[in-house]
Amino acid sequence: MLEKKHVLITGGSNGLGLSSARALAAMGANLTLVARGEARLLRAAEELRRDFPDIRIHEQVLDVSNLDQVRDFAKNQVDPIDILMNNAGLMGPDFALSIEGIESQMATNYIGHFLLTKLLWKSLEKAANPRVISLSSVVHRKGRLSQLDLASLRGNKPEKYDRWQRYADSKLACLFFARELDLRAKQAGSKIKSIAAHPGWAITGLQENFPHTLDPLAQNADQGARSQVFAAVQPGLNCGEFVGPNLELWGKPRLIKGSGHSRDLATSKRLWELTEELVGEPFLPNS
């Protein structure tokens, strides 16, 4: 299905990213995997080479929350990219700032991927049927992002930090991004499809610091990754759609609507414009 297609996955060294990589490699895709931790990334790449000797795998250390690293990485990506899977994420860490002074969850889950997608746009346009997959979460329903300004987007005040609200806000931002990207790609006449996905309740490694007695009831990473793999490869999906488990927290992938707030066009436009200001450049030349 994906023979010789090029898939780039952020956070590809474990969890949902590695499970997605395995599923897509089994379909014949060549892979570029990026992640923050070198040792785990090298180990994952070697395991994939062992299991899928006929595909090409390239791995590179990249912290997507570091915008300068994102820029340097993107400069060297000249081959067509058929699927960009914006998968890397943080969930509920202690308060920390990226090197640019942005709260770490928003920097990793959303802002770094916004910039990465922008900088890889030409490589995506080179592919025949390119897709950008943005990873949201069921907790986007608890996201707010209703009174947006640069200060709230940066979130760099530790006294205002609520780790779980910030996680929900970052995942709502990812969904807003996917939907706004769809609108702007269409306006620009681009063939790139933007599709969002969420895994439901899956134990992926993000939860390792927050064990719960009900964790045995959750999906594993392979099951959780089904939604984003479906979003990446399913024929006939339209731009701007959202894929999640059929039982919300568990199950096979299906099209879902998400929260009403996540379809607020004014908020998604405002978030986009603020993010362009934060990264210091427009996403598209005419945006």
Would 242 be classed as within a structural domain?
yes
Mean pLDDT of 207-230: 78
Would 247 be classed as within a structural domain?
yes
Q: Answer yes or no: 136 catalytic.
A: yes
Other C-beta atoms within 10 Å of 116: how many?
26
DSSP alpha helix (H) spans, 10-147? 15-26, 38-51, 67-75, 104-106, 112-119, 121-125
For residues 65 and 89, the answer to whether their CB atoms sit within 8 Å is no
- 15 has pLDDT over 80: yes
CATH number at residue 106: 3.40.50.720
Cα 166 off chain centre by:
16
Mean pLDDT of 28-43: 98
Q: In what order do the strands lie in the sheet with 57-61?
A: 57-61, 30-35, 6-10, 83-86, 131-135, 193-197, 242-245, 253-256
Q: What is the mean pLDDT of the chain?
A: 94
Would 185 be classed as within a structural domain?
yes
Mean pLDDT of 47-56: 97
Would 106 be classed as within a structural domain?
yes
How many separate domains does the chain show?
1
Would 286 be classed as within a structural domain?
no
* CA atoms of 11 and 87, how far apart (whole Å): 6
Q: Per the structure block, which two tokens stand in for 101?
A: 């002074």
Q: Tell the burial category of 5 from Cβ atoms under 10 Å away from its Cβ (0-12, 13-18, 19+).
A: buried
Q: What pLDDT, in 10s, does the model give residues 233-279?
A: 999 998 899 999 998 898 999 999 999 999 999 999 999 999 999 99
Other C-beta atoms within 10 Å of 220: how many?
11
* CA atoms of 176 and 184, how far apart (whole Å): 12
Would 22 be classed as within a structural domain?
yes
Would 75 be classed as within a structural domain?
yes
Q: For residue 116, what are the domain limits?
A: 6-279
DSSP category for residue 107: I
Catalytic one among 136, 137, 194, 227?
136
Q: What pLDDT, in 10s, does the model give residues 65-91?
A: 999 999 999 999 999 999 999 999 999
Would 287 be classed as within a structural domain?
no
* CA atoms of 90 and 265, how far apart (whole Å): 26
Q: What pTM value is reported for the model? A: 0.95
Mean pLDDT of 121-126: 97
Question: pLDDT band at 201, cuts 50/70/90?
Answer: confident
What share of the chain in percent tops pLDDT 70? 94
> How do strand 131-135 and strand 57-61 relate by DSSP bridges?
unpaired
